[in-house]
Structure 1
Amino acid sequence: MSGNLLPYVEVNPNTTPDACVIWLHGLGDSGNGFAPIVPELKLPADHAIRFIFPHAPERPVTINAGMRMRAWYDIKSLDFNNRADVEGVTDSAARVEALIDAEHKKGIPYERIVLAGFSQGGVIALHLSTRFEHKLAGVLALSTYMSEPEKLAAEASAVNKDTAIMMAHGEQDEVVPMFLGHTAFKTLTENGFNATWSTYTMQHNVCLNELNDISAWLKSVLA
């Protein structure tokens, strides 16, 4: 792994990988947080999917009294329209794009790569995938929202407009209210993206029913 790339946790299949899922964690977490989810997906024993769980850079987070923690971008305000630090979003999207390109250079086709993200990680996944110049297998956006949705129409790439985007959200989410996720879903569909929307009886987390649906979705987009 190049020293210029984000560090990450990896979970490799028993066979040579022919597909990859890059899964981005939420604020204050790390790649270690979601890595244990792989066996819970109950994928076939002979699956050839490599999972990468990158660690976001450490940075001061304004709403947390400037404490340094792993974050894909700063959150300077809880105001819904200005929650995401745009410069940080752009920087992190570029870092994740470098990870995607590195997997491609290892022999994984772009169209066999899924970009997934939870909360802050989902913001990066949506921002990058809608502007990415190569076709992806799918996008998984969990309990998340969109940075600068008003700019999507002008900045969107058409390459992934028919790529499956699975959006999922907790109905009792108090960290990222469900309406923010649904607004992102509506923005995607209004701009011609192939997004679906599901809700679950949960808070700002992942539940068993959601994991089962994610497993079925992964099997579909990486069939």
Structure 2
Amino acid sequence: MDAYIKEQANPKACVIWMHGLGADAQDMAGLTEQLSINIPVRHICVNAAVRPVTMNNNFPMRAWFDIANLDFNEFGEPAGIFDSERMIQEIIANQIGQGLTHEQIFLAGFSQGGAMALFAGLRSSTPLGGIIALSSFLPNVLQVQQMHKNIPVFMAAGIYDQIVLPVWTKASMNWLQAQGFANITYREYPLEHSISMQEIQDLSHWFNQQLPVVSGGAR
């Protein structure tokens, strides 16, 4: 596993973080330092594989899946997405092996990493503790046989974002609601393609609402 791991003693939950296109695990590690969470948590900031990205003239960079262009209807290349999903599911299985339950595991990400969190989290055969997608979107290749519609989801968008347009994030949220997901928290911020302190505070509050429910200890 190519990842940066930070944990407190006797963690009661695990958050698996996925960075944006061309970034790396350290980007998400910096965000975890700013969260204010009331229980001990293990943060796993994962590095995506290096792969050619069509949109960037096939230049190799860390990416969860290929992107051909900035067209919401064309995001996602199935082979890359499913390879990355398998890696995330292996990390989840490893955490289960260390004594956590599925309900104590959260998937989180920024931009393309948030898309990966939504994709892997919604396709999980066992419901997870929650999904966080910041400045992100739901890949249109999502095919879900069984969705756990009570899973808590936190989605956020920057209203000035020119990379992942806020209308894409909102369209993803609307699709989830149309499928019957009722536990969605959606926030917009006066941002471009970035994360603000207010967003971090809101995310911390959301975590603290969810974590007492899932922090009953290891099996």
Give the TM bin, normalised by the shorter chain: over 0.9
What pairs up with 1:76-91 in 2 under 5 angstroms?
76-91=68-83
| 2:169 pairs with one of 181, 185, 194 | 181
1:31 aligns with 2:31: no
Q: Deviations over 1:110-145 (max 9, x none)?
A: 101111011111111111111111121111011011
- Alignment partners' CA distance in 2, 1:89 and 1:21: 20
Letter in 2 for 1:49: V
Letter in 1 for 2:174: K
Equivalent position SS for 2:155:
strand
What pairs up with 1:79-158 in 2 under 5 angstroms?
79-148=71-140, 152=143, 155-158=144-147
- Alignment partners' CA distance in 1, 2:134 and 2:54: 23
Find the counterpart in structure 2 of residue 41 from structure 1: 35
Find the counterpart in structure 2 of residue 169 from structure 1: 157
Letter in 2 for 1:41: L
Unaligned runs of 5+ in 2: 213-219
Higher relative contact order (Cα pairs below 8 Å, separated by 6+ residues) = 2
1:7 aligns with 2:18: no
Find the counterpart in structure 2 of residue 3 from structure 1: none
Preserved contact between residue 130 and residue 156 of structure 1 (Cα < 8 Å): no
- Alignment partners' CA distance in 2, 1:42 and 1:167: 18
User: Root-mean-square deviation (CA), in Å?
Assistant: 1.3
Find the counterpart in structure 2 of residue 219 from structure 1: 208
Displacement of 1:66 in angstroms is 1.1
Q: Deviations over 1:140-188 (max 9, x none)?
A: 0110111116x55xx2423x21011011010000000011001100111
1:201 aligns with 2:195: no
Unaligned runs of 5+ in 1: 1-5
TM-score (norm. length: structure 2): 0.92
Preserved contact between residue 65 and residue 76 of structure 2 (Cα < 8 Å): yes
Preserved contact between residue 27 and residue 71 of structure 1 (Cα < 8 Å): yes
Between the two proteins, the alignment pairs up a number of residues equal to: 211
Q: Which ranges of 4 or more aligned residues in structure 1 deviate by more than 3 Å?
A: none
Equivalent position SS for 2:76:
coil
- Alignment partners' CA distance in 2, 1:72 and 1:17: 27
| 1:18 pairs with one of 12, 16, 24 | 12
